[in-house]
Structure 1
Amino acid sequence: MTKQAWLVGFAVTGVLACGTPVAAPEAESISAATQTIRGGDDAHVGEFPYHVRILGRGVTKCGGALVQPGWVVTSAHCLQGFTASELTVVMGEVRIDVTEPTQQARSVMRWIPHPDYGVVDDAPLHDVAVIQVAQPFIVTTAVSPVAFPSGPPNIGTSLTVTGWGTSGTGGGTTTQLKYASMPVSPPTNCAWVILRNPVEGAELCMVLVNQRIGACQGDEGVPLVLNGKLHGVMSWDGTGGCQQFTIFTNVANYVTWIRSYTG
């Protein structure tokens, strides 16, 4: 979610917080073998069977990851304003403009945000939630859970993100699921593009490769995965333009809480 979007949203609700950006350092130069969400490669059915699309009142709102047949992990902020009965979870698809034979859809029984979820200096924190679907998904080659990590990813490691987000600020969303490789950067490198420093341990600072490849607007809640382990869900785009960094919730920090519901 962009910084601008948070400012607009909280100005409307009258709870806009204050923050002072720090001076911007020179952008770091990073390359990756996978040229892919903004600038992404097309995904194929079964390639990312854990990826979830979440609809609110019939409109795609965000992404998520299946962690048990009956449970999904996503960002808390993208569910705000919706009751469980207004949400639908869809899996087993890579195109959202057609109904694919592998597709499964479920209504939602309940969703629970992390108890410490909130907004600090115009940015969400502890931005994670679990969704319990009304009927567990049937596990197939196109629909299956992702595992939890035992710890956070190392700085410099590249992870895979998937989503249907925009190609950039003002760009349209895609009907084709995309994937991209994004490296982990030290939290201090994200500090200049947002109104507060990322909270180490709670958040991951992820780099858009060549300032154009990675998670963007419309990708909120989407999974960040390495070796079959869910390391992050997208929280917000600190640059406001999908050009430098994206902040993900560090799932490893919340595994105990998540498992208290999902088992």
Structure 2
Amino acid sequence: GSFVVVVTTLSASGVEGSHIVGGRDAVPHSRPYMASLQLRGRHGCGGLLVREDYVLTAAHCQQPYLNEPFTVVLGGDSLTASEPTKQTFTTVRSIPHPNYDGHANDIMLLKVRSKKKHFYFNNIDFYILKVILDCLLAGRNCITAGWGDIGDNNTLANRLQEVNVTILSQRSCRGRWGAVPITRSMVCGTGADNLQGFCSGDSGGPLVCDGAAAGVVSFSGRRCGDPRTPDVYTRLSSFRDWILNEINNN
């Protein structure tokens, strides 16, 4: 049968990630909505800034540290270099989806303390009200991005990586995954070439289609970028109402 890897592994000593495989350097600061979620000084997951005070990520990113706040780094291209655009925030509340079961509904909102103004906010039109695509057709070309490991030796990407993603039909994805349930609130994608796609340090990062957020990195197979076990994303259009209710009511 198929083997599912939850694509972020957090250990007691820190965060161990893996990599976007077969990707390329993103143009610096071309994706200002990208967040690096860090625990104890180490990058663990990606995230998507959806409002000045909210970051969207995957629910499985939180599991081992239920009471520990994330450090959210915004405006960075490199995780290590000091950049004038980089700003750091602390999460004050984690809101995983109430129906997250370790597999489905893998989505979480993080409320951040936002006393500082994101100076680049006037230049990005990425508020959730405007960005969720409802239509993800098979064959559509999208992109995912992240700072995960770029080798098999826990070397985090020095700069933000991105990779092209082609959306698969639900039928094709279910056929390839076999016994693993692929629900209607998930969307699947593969790279153009073999061994292209996301891996563990990329969890919670966005699937971006035509400049709009369409998914959140959720899980993949034992071997990253293997088209036999296509990458699976949480489909944002399925959670639009939940997202809006949470950010408007908290």
TM-score range, shorter chain: 0.7 to 0.9
- Structure 1: how far apart are the matches of 2:32 and 2:39? 21
- Structure 2: how far apart are the matches of 1:4 and 1:125? 12
CA contact (8 A) 1:53 1:63 kept: yes
Partner of 1:128: 107
Deviation of 1:60 after TM superposition, in Å, equals 1.0
Change beyond 3 A, Cα 1:169–1:154: farther
More off after superposition, 59-68 vs 222-231: 222-231
Change beyond 3 A, Cα 1:84–1:94: farther
CA contact (8 A) 1:90 1:106 kept: yes
Partner of 1:249: 234
- Structure 1: how far apart are the matches of 2:194 and 2:116? 37
- What are the equivalent positions in structure 2 for 1:1-263 lying under 5 Å apart? 3=3, 5-6=5-6, 37-83=20-66, 85-119=68-102, 124-135=103-114, 138-141=117-120, 144=124, 146=126, 147=128, 148-167=131-150, 172-191=155-174, 192-193=176-177, 195-200=179-184, 202-244=185-227, 245-263=230-248
CA contact (8 A) 1:65 1:72 kept: yes
Q: Percent identity?
A: 26
Structure 2: which 5+ runs fail to align? 10-19
Deviation of 1:145 after TM superposition, in Å, equals 5.9
- Structure 1: how far apart are the matches of 2:220 and 2:159? 21
- Structure 2: how far apart are the matches of 1:158 and 1:136? 37
Deviation of 1:174 after TM superposition, in Å, equals 1.2
Counterpart amino acid of 1:210? D
RMSD: 2.5
Change beyond 3 A, Cα 1:180–1:218: same
SS of corresponding position for 2:245: helix
SS of corresponding position for 2:200: coil
Once the two structures are superposed, residues 44-71 of structure 1 have per-residue CA deviations (whole angstroms, 9 ceiling, x without a partner) of 3320011110012222110010000000
Q: TM-score, normalised by structure 1?
A: 0.78
Counterpart amino acid of 1:242? G
Q: TM-score, normalised by structure 2?
A: 0.82
SS of corresponding position for 2:187: strand
Deviation of 1:153 after TM superposition, in Å, equals 1.4
Structure 1: which 5+ runs fail to align? 10-36
SS of corresponding position for 2:243: helix
Deviation of 1:197 after TM superposition, in Å, equals 3.0
Deviation of 1:110 after TM superposition, in Å, equals 0.3
Once the two structures are superposed, residues 15-41 of structure 1 have per-residue CA deviations (whole angstroms, 9 ceiling, x without a partner) of xxxxxxxxxxxxxxxxxxxxxx32212
- Structure 2: how far apart are the matches of 1:59 and 1:145? 29
Task: Give the total of aligned pairs.
Answer: 229
CA contact (8 A) 2:25 2:160 kept: yes
Deviation of 1:168 after TM superposition, in Å, equals 6.2
Change beyond 3 A, Cα 1:171–1:3: farther
Counterpart amino acid of 1:262? I
CA contact (8 A) 1:66 1:145 kept: no
